[in-house]
Amino acid sequence: MTIQPRRPVGDPVVLDDRERLSFRVDRRAYTDDDLAAAEMARIFDRCWLYVGHESEVPVAGSYVARDVGGRPVVMARGSDGVIRVFANSCPHRGALICTQPAGQARSFRCPYHDWTFSNRGDLVGVPIPDGYGPGFRKADFGLAQHRSDSYRGFVFVTFDPRQPRSLTGYLAGATEYLDLIDDQSEVGMEVIQGAQLHGARANWKLMMENSVDIYHFRALHKRYVGYMESLGSVPPRRRGGFGRALGLGHGANELPPAAARPLAYWTPMFGESVRPRIEATAARFVDRFGAARAERITHTNRALLIFPNLMIIDAIAITIRKIDPVGAGQMAITSVALAPRDEDPEIRELRKSHYLTFLGPAGFATPDDIEIVESCQRGYLNRAVRYSDLSRGMDKEVPETTDELPAREFWRQWDRLMHGDDGHLDLAHRAELQGADPR
């Protein structure tokens, strides 16, 4: 049996050598339980995290309940029309106050002791109130409200009361791409009802890398490429487009018209019958935004990564994909489709069909992606290979979509936050003290 040498205390996880054009990530970042626990404290407890879209709570009293950053929360539009994000936990004894994934309610009732809260989070009802002393005040026991904000309909929350950045400041260059997405409707965008909930036996960061990786498209998704070509359509070219680092861990890949050729997607996949309506919409966009911006909005495919765990894939259909860690070797994935609120009904049905055909859990692409990230996770069990390489395109002034710039931007922010003010020494040192191999 070969004994692997113990790694030195303080051994870095991300090796970013810009002079040698080398970017490597230690594979323990995907497998180490201590690192996974530290991510929750240093990243998910500190960053702005995506909760949902304003269209999911369209009227007063509507709500959605979901986990965000490992915490159960409720996003509710109160009777005053304001959207708030609450801890989904009764301040009395801690039970979930909302057990349904979505609905409409004037109030939330805790099933444990019937404490009742308004949809604005105020405690409004307590059974047998004379059991409490004179100092008991309902105002002291409202639902805990998290700091939240929205940009172009996308709602985010932070659990860090000292988070110094506003949401807009945190999003940095990603706002440009959220604008391009939201401007696709003349009256606003909406999440199509229904969500795909699934997972993978792999580290969450592998799916973040995969979702912004165009390099694998023709290699991994051969069945889909063949399907598109059998219809007479033109799949994305292997080369072309560009990747961008948008700051603070965010990144994007963009296929402009010359590379994407969008009408080739719509015809024959969407059919000639809807082509005149699509072209009429594009013409109106020229009047609204000018020719250059209209073309970018309507004729460009893009994949946007918002650090840490949100992907928006805008190609054929618009997919919002939230990827949550469940320990070091498992993830939970929530996917929904976004579309113009005023969309032609026939085009909407076609959009939904192609969303499921490609990006649905049983579609052409997603099973391939899940299988390959699980394959990577299993491959990491052989520790003879210590690093993964993400250096593709480091020698280019303008990296292409098949290069790995967005993934490097993600990892650089991951590394900064994981180091914090106390560096990376503590995790490796703790493993050494416990007699474990810090790999």
Domain ranges of the chain: 48-162, 175-419
Please say if the pLDDT value at position 422 is more than 50.
Answer: no
Helix (H, G, I), strand (E, B) or coil at 125: strand
The CATH number fitting domain 48-162, selected from 2.102.10.10, 2.60.120.10, 3.55.10.10, 3.65.10.10: 2.102.10.10
pLDDT band at 267 (very low <50, low <70, confident <90, very high): very low
pLDDT band at residue 234 using 50, 70 and 90 as cut-offs: low
- pTM exceeding the 0.75 threshold for the entire prediction: yes
Q: 97 is written with which tokens?
A: 């106050």
The yes-or-no answer to whether 48-162 and 175-419 have a common fold is no
Task: Determine the 3-state secondary structure of 437 from DSSP.
Answer: coil
Rounded Cα–Cα distance for residues 180 and 338 (Å): 13
Residue 436: per-residue pLDDT: 33
- What would the mean pLDDT of 429-433 be, rounded to a whole number? 31
Q: What is the pLDDT of residues 22-65, one digit of tens each?
A: 999 999 999 999 999 999 999 999 999 999 999 999 999 999 99
C-beta separation of 86 from 76 below 8 A: yes
Calculate what percentage of the chain has a pLDDT beyond 70.
88
Contact 361, 199 (CB under 8 A): no
Report how far residue 304's alpha carbon sits from residue 1's, in angstroms, rounded to the nearest whole number.
45
DSSP string for residues in 177-206: HHHHHHTT-SS-EEEPS--EEEEESS-HHH
- Quote the pLDDT of residue 224: 82
Answer yes or no: CATH 3.90.380.10 is held by domain 175-419: yes
> Rounded mean pLDDT of the chain?
88
Rg (CA), the chain: 24
The residues, ordered by sequence, that sit 6+ positions from 99 with a Cβ below 8 Å of its Cβ are 65, 111
Give per-residue pLDDT as tens, 198-219.
Answer: 999 999 999 999 999 988 888 8
How far apart, in whole angstroms, are the C-alpha atoms of residue 210 and residue 303? 11
